A = this chain, B = another copy of it.
Amino acid sequence: MRRLPSRPITATDVARAAGVSQSAVSRTFTPGASVAPATRAKVLEAVKLLGYRPNALARSLITGRSRIVAVVMAYLDNQFYPDVLEELSGRLQERDHQVLLFTAKNGSASDPLLDQVMRYQVDAVVLASTTLSSALARECRAAGVPVVLFNRTTDDPDVSSVTGDNLGGAERIAAFLAAGGHRALAFMAGSETSSTNRDRERGFLRGIARAGLPKPTRVVGHYTLAGAAEATRALLSGPARPDAIFCANDHMAIACIDVARHAFGLRVPEDLSVVGFDDVGAAAWRGYDLTTFSQPLQPMVEATVGTLMDLLENPEEPPRAAVIKGELVVRGSARLPAGGFTTHEGRRVWRP
């Protein structure tokens, strides 16, 4: 019963079976095209009979739209990204677009990758990798392909981006830690070349200055678990042990807590407060119960898809730099200030 797929069924086959022209078949699958209901019915019957499916590639060749969006990602072990991916893919599928996924090895050159992206005639590109050189963005734009940077910005004011409130969030974290009575703060940087890290550090420093606290100790965790663990060890072995660490993302904060607890026997938050950024799923796990500034997934993805669709309609659209507000979600990994708590969407949050 293993019937060989003799030859793929084409629109011409369907046309012959339905006794109409190939054009009629095409129009049946083109929304808004002019087809008589009777013809349409005949066509659909033949389609069902033969198991025909339009060839999206051939269609793209003519229309110049592939309905494919390239998504470039790295760090998929940081839960934030798969969550973004799932949401993004879902939203795009809803709008009849597909996701062509490119995973960038962390240190790898982006050139061959860009080549592949361009060859597939993607309609747009979402760059959701903090590390990739912004050359990629520039080249895409040069080729006339709309680009949206996700969770990342670049100096080029001509490229659209969607980010969380890195500056404001980090500043609020500083205020929160100051209000909680911490005096010796530390900052664990992620990847030093990333814009998220730059903004979060800048915001944190600004908040610290405002609170009149001394400059924080600084270590680098490279946005990886291993890097964060090592950075934590360095920090806690040093002469001036901090009483609070702000890690540039949740992923690192988790490693930080693990090391503090199990390698140094510290209690969190009694001996050491740890705060993260992103509010990934694991931050709510009771084993970590992480206080963190949220990057609201759905609004961020909606802004991305919205920008994308607008750019597809009109490539001349001026670029947007959307900054999606978040909240400081208070859990149990940092000592609490006396007041300032509110409830937001069922979670306890803090505002200065």
A203 to chain B, nearest CB (A): 28
Identity of the chain B residue whose Cβ is nearest the Cβ of A2 in the assembled complex: B158
Identity of the chain B residue whose Cβ is nearest the Cβ of A255 in the assembled complex: B285
Most buried by B among A54, A55, A82: A82
Please determine whether B101 and A89 come into contact, CB atoms closer than 8 angstroms: yes
A61 to chain B, nearest CB (A): 6
Q: Tell me the A52-94 residues at the B interface (CB within 8 Å).
A: 53-58, 60-61, 64, 66, 68, 71, 76-77, 79, 81-83, 85-86, 89-90, 93
Report A101-135 CB contacts with B as 1/0, cut-off 8 Å: 11101000000010110111100000000000000
Which residues from B are CB-within-8-Å of A48?
Answer: none
Which residues from B are CB-within-8-Å of A105?
Answer: 90
What is the interface residue range for chain A against chain B? 35 or more
Report Cα–Cα, A101/B144, bound state, in Å: 24
> Does A192 reach chain B (CB closer than 8 Å)?
no
> Does A258 reach chain B (CB closer than 8 Å)?
yes
Please determine whether A56 and B103 come into contact, CB atoms closer than 8 angstroms: no
A126 to chain B, nearest CB (A): 12
Which residues from B are CB-within-8-Å of A55?
Answer: 61, 119, 121
Most buried by B among A81, A100, A120: A120
A84 to chain B, nearest CB (A): 10
Please determine whether A99 and B101 come into contact, CB atoms closer than 8 angstroms: yes
Q: Tell me the A1-20 residues at the B interface (CB within 8 Å).
A: 2-5, 8
Please determine whether A258 and B285 come into contact, CB atoms closer than 8 angstroms: yes
Please determine whether B121 and A57 come into contact, CB atoms closer than 8 angstroms: yes
Please determine whether A66 and B57 come into contact, CB atoms closer than 8 angstroms: yes
> Does A143 reach chain B (CB closer than 8 Å)?
yes
Which residues from B are CB-within-8-Å of A143?
Answer: 5, 51
Identity of the chain B residue whose Cβ is nearest the Cβ of A81 in the assembled complex: B82
Report Cα–Cα, A261/B285, bound state, in Å: 12
Report Cα–Cα, A287/B93, bound state, in Å: 37
Identity of the chain B residue whose Cβ is nearest the Cβ of A54 in the assembled complex: B119
Please determine whether B79 and A101 come into contact, CB atoms closer than 8 angstroms: no
In the complex, besides A55-B61, A93-B116, A258-B286, 14 extra interface pairs with C-beta distance below 8 angstroms are A4-B144, A8-B64, A51-B142, A53-B118, A54-B119, A56-B119, A57-B60, A77-B281, A81-B82, A98-B101, A99-B100, A99-B101, A254-B285, A254-B287
- Name A's B-contacting residues (CB within 8 A): 2-5, 8, 51, 53-58, 60-61, 64, 66, 68, 71, 76-77, 79, 81-83, 85-86, 89-90, 93, 98-103, 105, 113, 115-116, 118-121, 142-144, 158, 225, 254, 257-258, 261-262, 281-282, 285-288, 315
Q: List 24 A-B contacts (CB under 8 A).
A: A8-B64, A55-B121, A56-B119, A57-B57, A68-B100, A71-B101, A77-B79, A77-B82, A81-B82, A82-B85, A86-B103, A90-B105, A93-B102, A93-B103, A98-B100, A98-B116, A98-B120, A99-B100, A100-B101, A101-B101, A254-B285, A258-B285, A282-B282, A285-B287
